[in-house]
Chains A and B, each alone.
Chain A
């Protein structure tokens, strides 16, 4: 334990992997900035049709907010070495992540059945599918990482005490959460 403390004091710099994640987040933000600015440009042109938000998205928003909270609790219990609690919480985050993706899918189905489809004239709906779909893909990436972490936590073969991977997972997870909140507000505000 003393050695660990000494090491953290010695290293004033941020862990390179964490830093890489932050740069990656910047990169992802640029992608969504590109898409949402395209949305704004297009919404000022002729033939634009606005769409209503499917109700299911409110449930998915609740789910992802909750999952962020659970992820934070998982990180705390990992740091306090409460491994049983950590295992349950990380698995719960994973389950909530899966739920979010399923809910998004249901939202898309609802929208599709209400007549907002790909063919024909342009509008907010087409953008909604692309933007929210790409967001869901990023969540799915996080879900896969969570699955790997949960399996590792339950198998317990690797004795991993460094909290860096868990911290990075939490950072990424909060990021996709915030990104969704931004997109939701964007859709309501501009659309």
Chain B
């Protein structure tokens, strides 16, 4: 509770108004390596910790997908090298079924939670909220540090689950009971699933601690003049993301706790009337409901996809406006649509459950609410395109990734209209169509937003630039590759190819997809290799990249570019600057850009 004393010297001084008077507190403390880089309470360092941990997870999760793509693309071939690395999991050089299911489960869990939630929100909320709101740090730097270390502990537990003898969780990233509840059904449902649940519980704690801090920093710690309507859209997006997380993650935790009880203590929350043929045993559980778990899971699970996409939307809005040298089109409409998406996110979870025997009348209500999301989504797409329209566009890697985001969001969003209709969903459910849909609209698109953010704010994070040539190669290969991987999956899905199956050779009517599957696998390996090139660029540039010489390298209006080139803990050396205008005065009155800190001149219209 007195943790900002590290920063301000005395516990009373915290709000935005008061920090103006405490410039004498900005001195640097005697920081050791440990307090500066490891147990740091500086939001910028914590952001980098989230980013680098996220990168490590992305490599692991991405590699898993390349491995199971090998099985899907070349089901008849053997790869002896796999046996060298994975032993009995790839006996004779072929991926074994339980290994395959562990791979897809961990791929989903890692990418959805550890990379695109912690790695994306964790990075940019930490980096940008205090810098763009004009605060010296988060409302509670200590809780913020805990948020990272809970994520780290979750990571350690999740990694350790990969090495237990019965293998990691393999009941799918959703971990539906009864499969995930009974160790007798599945090797991965033994200790692996317990570790998975513990890791996820720690992850939830991390998200909650982070989210609480983000909300209260945005609402309480803004600098003088920074009204809510002057905030950059990145902050609005991160704000709604945090609200979604804080309200939906606890419900997921409830669901996980009940699952832990069912697994280990013999309760019957989700289990009922089960006979296990492997052991010839009838279980005493009665009256449980597996559907109950699905409700609890998807009450988080659906907001979760917006937790993933909203930060990217915010980043893209900011990057596009800066690099089009134009104000964002329809600022209030952007905020309004973020708000609408946040509300709707809580009201559509049952569209994941159309085939569970849900009452069709109830289903039709969820169809309506789901299709309503098209409205704010379309508003956003329209506004991004009109922001680009007749802009003076600078094609930096960040801009390209932002434009790529818009493209992917359109293509992936349109297939959402198909899936949101319960009648069509009966055919498309659990096919490759849905895999294609959510990878494009949520997976790859969010990654593009994240890349845009990394390229754009790398100079602020490390005082150096990323190499642009490698950036362009990274963009084009990823962009073309993403479409080559996922576009064909729509056709497979429409033809009925199921997801999650490890071998489709038993279905003659799917045989003609054989070459297509080979192509997808080859492309996914190439795209993965290009991501490794990006990671090389990332780490190389931290130490050897071109140095940033100018305080405001992109000519942006927002406050983070008013800090020194390499800001210390506390961000601004003098007073925190006062804000006089919104963040999007680009190309106004013949001037290329007008920073937020510049007072409104005479005769100038103001926001």
Chain A positions within 8 Å of B, measured between CB atoms, are: 7, 10-11, 13-17, 19-20, 23-24, 26-28, 30-35, 38, 41-42, 45-48, 118-123, 126-127, 130, 134, 160, 162, 164-165, 168
3 pairs of A and B residues whose beta carbons are closest in the complex: A47-B287, A31-B250, A16-B139
Q: How far is the CB of B578 from chain A (nearest CB, A)?
A: 16
Task: Specify which chain A residues have a CB less than 8 angstroms from the CB of B285 in the assembled complex.
Answer: 120-122
B551 at the interface (CB under 8 A from A): no
Q: How far, in angstroms, from A130 to B254 measured CA to CA in the complex?
A: 9
Instruction: Tell yes or no: B143 within 8 A of A by CB.
Output: yes
Q: B217 interface residue, CB < 8 Å from A?
A: yes
B contact residues around A7 at 8 Å (CB): 12, 18
Contact across chains for A11 and B216 when beta carbons are under 8 A apart: no
Assembled-state Cα–Cα distance A7/B18 (Å): 9
Considering the chains assembled together, what is the distance between the CA atoms of A164 and B258 in angstroms?
A: 36
Residue contacts A-B, CB under 8 angstroms, 23 given: A10-B17, A11-B17, A16-B14, A17-B140, A23-B246, A27-B247, A27-B249, A30-B251, A34-B299, A35-B258, A38-B258, A38-B295, A41-B295, A42-B269, A45-B287, A48-B287, A121-B268, A122-B286, A126-B261, A126-B269, A130-B261, A160-B2, A164-B11
Chain B residues whose C-beta falls within 8 Å of the C-beta of A30 in the assembled complex: 246-248, 250-251
- Are B14 and A24 in contact, CB atoms less than 8 angstroms apart? no
Q: Least Cβ distance of A38 to chain B in Å?
A: 6
Contacts A11-B17, A48-B287, A130-B261 given; does A24 touch B212 at CB 8 Å: yes
Determine the chain B residues whose CB is within 8 A of the CB of A46 once the complex forms.
Answer: 287
Q: Are A19 and B208 in contact (CB under 8 A)?
A: no
Say whether B220 contacts A14, CB under 8 Å: yes
Partner of A119, one of B208, B211, B219, B284: B284
14 further interface pairs, Cβ-Cβ under 8 Å (given A20-B140, A121-B268, A162-B12): A10-B17, A19-B215, A19-B219, A20-B215, A42-B269, A42-B289, A47-B268, A47-B272, A47-B286, A47-B287, A119-B265, A119-B284, A120-B268, A165-B1
The prevalent SS among residues of B at the interface is helix
B215/A38 in contact, CB under 8 A: no
- In the complex, the chain B residue whose C-beta lies closest to that of A35 is B254
Smallest CB separation, B289 vs chain A (Å): 6
- Contacts A26-B246, A31-B254, A126-B261 given; does A17 touch B139 at CB 8 Å: yes
Give the residue name and chain of the B residue nearest to A11 (CB): B15
Cα A31 to Cα B286 with chains together (Å): 25
Q: Considering only CB atoms, which chain A residue lies closest to B243 in the complex?
A: A23
Contacts of A168 in B (CB 8 A): 1
B217 pairs with A16, CB closer than 8 A = yes
Give per-residue flags for B222-265: 1 if the beta carbon is below 8 A from chain A beta carbons, else 0.
00000000000000000000000011111101110110010001
Establish whether residues B266 and A19, one from each chain, have CB atoms under 8 Å apart when the complex forms.
no
Inter-chain contact A34/B286, CB cutoff 8 Å: no
Q: Given A30-B251, A34-B250, are A120 and B284 neighbors across the interface (CB < 8 Å)?
A: yes
Q: With contacts A11-B15, A45-B287, A48-B287 known, is A126 near B255, CB below 8 A? A: no
Does B105 have its Cβ within 8 Å of any Cβ on chain A? no
Cα A46 to Cα B273 with chains together (Å): 11
Contact B15 A27 (CB under 8 A): no
Contacts of B211 on A, CB cut-off 8 Å?
23, 27
**B139/A34 in contact, CB under 8 A:** no
**Cα distance A168–B139 when bound, in Å?**
15
What residues of chain A lie closer than 8 Å to B216, measured between beta carbons?
16-17, 19-20, 23
Instruction: Name the contact of B18 in the complex, choosing from A10, A26, A47, A122 (C-beta under 8 A).
Output: A10
Q: With the chains together, A28 CA to B220 CA distance in Å? A: 21
Q: A11-B15, A47-B272, A122-B268 are in contact. Are A27 and B254 (CB under 8 A)?
A: no
> A23-B212, A30-B250, A38-B296 are known contacts. Are A122 and B287 too (CB-CB below 8 A)?
yes
The CA-CA distance from A13 to B217 in the complex, in Å, is 12
Cβ contact within 8 Å between B220 and A26: no
Please tell me which one of the listed residues B18, B213, B284, B296 contacts residue A34 in the complex, with CB atoms under 8 A apart.
Answer: B296
- Chain B residues with CB under 8 A of A160: 2, 11
Nearest CB on A from B456, distance (A): 28
Within 8 A of A (CB), among B41-78: none
**Partner pick for A13 among B15, B247, B254, B289, CB 8 A cutoff:** B15
B254 touches A34 (CB 8 A): yes
Q: Are A17 and B1 in contact (CB under 8 A)?
A: yes
Residues of A within 8 A of B287 (CB): 42, 45-48, 121-123
Contact with A along B266-277 (1 / 0, CB 8 A): 111100100000
Alpha-carbon separation in the docked complex, A127 to B246 (Å): 23
CA of A7 to CA of B211 in the docked complex: distance in angstroms?
28
A122-B269 in contact (CB<8A) = yes
Interface residues of B in 1-56 (CB under 8 A from A): 1-2, 11-12, 14-15, 17-18
The residues of B that contact A42 with a CB separation of less than 8 Å are 269, 287, 289, 292
Q: Is B288 close to A, CB under 8 A?
A: yes
| Alpha-carbon distance between A89 and B285 when the two chains are bound, in angstroms | 48
Given A33-B251, A123-B287, A118-B139 contact (CB < 8 Å):
no
B316 within 8 A of A: no
B265 adjacent to A34 (CB under 8 Å): no
Contact yes or no, B289 A121, CB < 8 A: no
